[in-house]
């Protein structure tokens, strides 16, 4: 009898375990997005814009951390197209990053299915086109990654959640802007600022309730200051980091950055201005929206609240107040207790100096004297198929060397698990904004003038937040620490799209010679092949 019971019991146990494994898999969410041209008049002049499923801006992507996203993107434009997922780290999966160094662009009348997870990320992010100057025509949208029920966040659930995609805008067609840059000229000053594709919007709430405003700079060139008339803003999250919850009258948001604030409607029930205005620009552009209290019959009243304009020191000091909430239990890139960034000695220091140059008679932007040019084959595919000559690893140096400006498909190599100190040195008169795909990093220091080793004395090595985009003020420096725990080919670029397009970028090849799925996923079965990789077999 016992001999019969034991096999049955084992089958039952194995079946139960199999069921639990299936049940343990993270949820799947499926999307189909079609990219087309359309017509809109965001600044009062009809112009061609890029729509996703007929929407400008594109659909808001609301997901829960660790969801598996299966998104089929159909390109109905007349040009190749890609989307990149700004701030989504693509753990072990640079194949899904959606930039030209990792992906073949989707040809017209074709499609590609992205498959990725916002792994252990909670917060507000964005997506946008990474090809050509498509970002100047739209195609961008919000990504909101919410906590699973068993992961607490350090604030009460707001009554509603508003996404504000704010950025500078041109009346010119994106192809015209691209031709202008290709001719060797810089873009002119933007024509206006849009909020969610319009010059202004209305956001409605009930008196006494608290609302979340997720504010992202999706523009091409300019930083902006954001404020709400008569209301304090409690900063609670910044690009996936829960932060010390300070109150602000206004906040600077630089190109490519995102912040989330809680606003309690604790004023008299009427309408109030929501204002975004450009920073560090010779001419101030302003966009005005409305915060409407439910039932209000009282319209907004002047004056429109003024914001800072040229005050660099004010902005730098505010940036230093953004600090990590170390008591928070929400998902974070460095789970509390595993290590502390401030106790680690960097394995390497990189000093990256941006500059504007003329190369072959045309305007170009450089990093350490090298202006990036896109290859005919994604660098990631060149690595996979061992195709030589696609990119160079000995052109760009880890610090400026005074060499003449030059063009190259530049890649800097690093080892998996290196811990880098990256200095962004800005000797120009304009504010810069830098983004690193595949990672969160710690902005540990901001300062004026030239960075030196003595500057390390001013670093915040205790509670710097993590984020994916950092500003560098005019004639100043910013320093980040980053733990290279994500193998792949990762784009380090100016978030200011003219500069990115004209060469202010390169790729960081984070590599381990031992091939392992523990370090990096295999090439996708649906990968697009182009350039010198066309016709090859995976």
Side by side, the strands of the sheet bearing 476-483 are 406-408, 370-372, 362-367, 348-359, 419-426, 476-483, 442-448
Question: How far is CA 119 from its chain centroid?
Answer: 15
Which residue is it, tokens 């090849």?
Answer: 509
Q: Give the Cα-Cα-Cα angle 152, 155, 161 (nearest 5 degrees).
A: 105
Question: Could you read off the pLDDT of 97-132 as tens digits, one per residue?
Answer: 999 999 999 999 999 999 999 998 999 999 999 999
- Structure tokens, 437: 């795909």
Whole-number Å distance between alpha carbons of 89 and 96: 10
pLDDT range class, residue 150, cuts 50, 70, 90 = confident
Whole-number Å distance between alpha carbons of 143 and 158: 17
Which residue, 190, 77, 177, is CA-closest to 133? 177
- Tell me the C-alpha to C-alpha distance, in Å, between residue 396 and each of 413, 437, 506, 507: 10, 19, 9, 10
In a 3-state reduction of DSSP, which class is residue 4?
helix
DSSP string, 351-377: EEEEEEEEETTEEEEEETTEEE---SS
pLDDT range class, residue 14, cuts 50, 70, 90 = very low
Query: How many CB atoms are closer than 10 A to CB 43?
Result: 16
Residue burial 395-416, b: 16+ Cβ < 10 Å; e: rest: bbbeebeeeebbebbbbbebeb
Q: State residue 338's pLDDT score.
A: 58
Question: Could you read off the pLDDT of 321-350 as tens digits, one per residue?
Answer: 999 998 886 544 444 445 799 999 999 999
pTM given for the model: 0.94
Question: Could you read off the pLDDT of 343-376 as tens digits, one per residue?
Answer: 999 999 999 999 999 999 999 999 999 999 999 9
pLDDT, average across residues 33-43: 98
Whole-number Å distance between alpha carbons of 303 and 442: 38
* Strand locations in 106-197 (E): 110-116, 123-129, 141-146, 161-169, 192-195
Cβ neighbours of residue 380 under 8 Å, at least 6 residues apart?
94, 95, 101, 102, 103, 488, 489
Whether 20 shows a pLDDT value over 50: the answer reads no
Whole-number Å distance between alpha carbons of 479 and 471: 10
Q: State residue 4's pLDDT score.
A: 44
Cβ neighbours of residue 530 under 8 Å, at least 6 residues apart?
104, 105, 376, 377, 378, 381
Q: State residue 498's pLDDT score.
A: 98
- What integer best gives the mean pLDDT of the chain? 94
Question: Could you read off the pLDDT of 275-321 as tens digits, one per residue?
Answer: 999 999 999 999 999 999 999 999 999 999 999 999 999 999 999 99
Higher pLDDT, 47 or 23: 47
Q: State residue 154's pLDDT score.
A: 94
Q: How many CA atoms lie within 13 A of 436 on its CB side?
A: 24
Whole-number Å distance between alpha carbons of 198 and 216: 15
Domain ranges for the chain, please list them: 25-145, 153-325, 341-530
Question: Could you read off the pLDDT of 424-478 as tens digits, one per residue?
Answer: 999 999 999 999 999 999 999 999 999 999 999 999 999 999 999 999 999 999 9
Q: State residue 334's pLDDT score.
A: 47
Architecture of domain 153-325: Sandwich (2.60)
Whether 9 shows a pLDDT value over 50: the answer reads no
pLDDT range class, residue 11, cuts 50, 70, 90 = very low
* Domain 25-145 matches domain 153-325 at the CATH topology level: yes
Alpha helices, DSSP H, located in 183-217: none
Phi, psi (degrees; rounded to nearest 5) at 88: -80, 120
pLDDT range class, residue 412, cuts 50, 70, 90 = very high
Q: What is the fold, at CATH topology level, of the domain defined by 341-530? A: Immunoglobulin-like (2.60.40)
Taking domain 25-145, whether its CATH number is 2.60.40.420 is answered by: yes
pLDDT, average across residues 70-86: 98
- Structure tokens, 387: 């195709």
DSSP string, 57-83: S---EEEETTPEEEEEEEE-SSS-B-E
Q: State residue 1's pLDDT score.
A: 44
pLDDT range class, residue 152, cuts 50, 70, 90 = confident
Whether 88 shows a pLDDT value over 90: the answer reads yes
Whether 8 shows a pLDDT value over 60: the answer reads no
């Amino acid at each position: 009898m016992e001999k019969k019971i034991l096999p049955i019991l084992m089958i039952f146990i194995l079946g139960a375990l199999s069921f639990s494994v299936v049940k343990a898999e993270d949820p799947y969410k499926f999307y189909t997005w079609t990219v087309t041209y359309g017509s809109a008049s965001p600044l009062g002049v009809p112009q061609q814009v890029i729509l996703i499923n007929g929407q400008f801006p594109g659909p808001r992507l609301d997901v829960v951390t660790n969801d598996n996203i299966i998104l089929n993107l159909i390109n109905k434009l007349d040009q190749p197209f890609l989307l990149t997922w700004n701030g989504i780290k693509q753990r072990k999966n640079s194949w899904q990053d959606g930039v030209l160094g990792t992906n073949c662009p989707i040809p017209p009348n074709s499609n590609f299915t992205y498959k990725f997870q916002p792994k252990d990320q909670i917060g507000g992010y964005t997506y946008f086109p990474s090809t050509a100057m498509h970002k100047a025509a739209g195609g961008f949208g919000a990504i909101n990654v919410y906590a699973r029920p068993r992961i607490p966040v350090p604030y009460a659930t707001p009554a509603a959640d508003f996404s504000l995609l704010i950025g500078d805008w041109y009346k010119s067609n994106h192809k015209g802007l691209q031709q202008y840059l290709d001719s060797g000229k810089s873009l002119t000053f933007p024509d206006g600022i849009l909020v969610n594709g319009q010059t202004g919007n209305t956001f409605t709430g009930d008196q006494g309730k608290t609302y979340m405003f997720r504010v992202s700079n999706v523009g091409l060139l300019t930083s902006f200051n954001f404020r709400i008339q008569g209301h304090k803003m409690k900063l609670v999250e910044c690009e996936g980091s829960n932060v010390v919850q300070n109150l602000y009258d206004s906040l600077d948001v630089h190109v490519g950055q995102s912040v989330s604030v809680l606003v309690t409607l604790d004023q008299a029930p009427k309408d109030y201005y929501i204002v975004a205005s450009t920073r560090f620009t010779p001419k101030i552009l302003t966009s005005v929206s409305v915060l409407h209290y439910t039932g209000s019959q009282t319209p907004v009243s002047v004056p429109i609240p003024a914001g800072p304009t040229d005050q660099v020191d004010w902005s730098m000091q505010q940036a230093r107040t953004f600090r990590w909430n170390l008591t928070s239990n929400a998902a974070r890139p460095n789970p509390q207790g595993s290590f502390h960034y401030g106790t680690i000695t960097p394995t390497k220091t990189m000093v990256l100096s941006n500059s504007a140059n003329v190369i072959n008679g045309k305007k170009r932007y450089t990093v350490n004297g090298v202006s990036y040019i896109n290859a005919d084959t994604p660098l990631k595919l060149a690595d996979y198929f061992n195709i030589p000559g696609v990119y160079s690893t000995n052109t760009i140096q880890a610090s400026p060397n005074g060499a003449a400006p030059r063009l190259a498909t530049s890649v800097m190599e690093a080892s998996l698990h290196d811990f880098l100190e990256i200095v962004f040195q800005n000797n120009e008169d304009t504010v810069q904004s830098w983004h690193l795909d595949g990672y969160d990093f710690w902005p540990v220091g901001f300062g004026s003038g030239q960075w030196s080793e003595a500057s390390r004395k001013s670093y915040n090595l205790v509670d710097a937040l993590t984020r994916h985009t950092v500003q560098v003020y005019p004639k100043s420096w910013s320093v980040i620490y980053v733990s290279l725990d994500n193998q792949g080919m990762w784009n380090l670029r100016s978030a200011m799209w003219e500069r990115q397009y004209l060469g202010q970028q390169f790729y960081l090849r984070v590599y381990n010679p031992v091939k392992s799925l523990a370090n990096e996923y295999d090439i996708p079965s649906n990968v697009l092949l182009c350039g010198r990789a066309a016709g090859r077999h995976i």
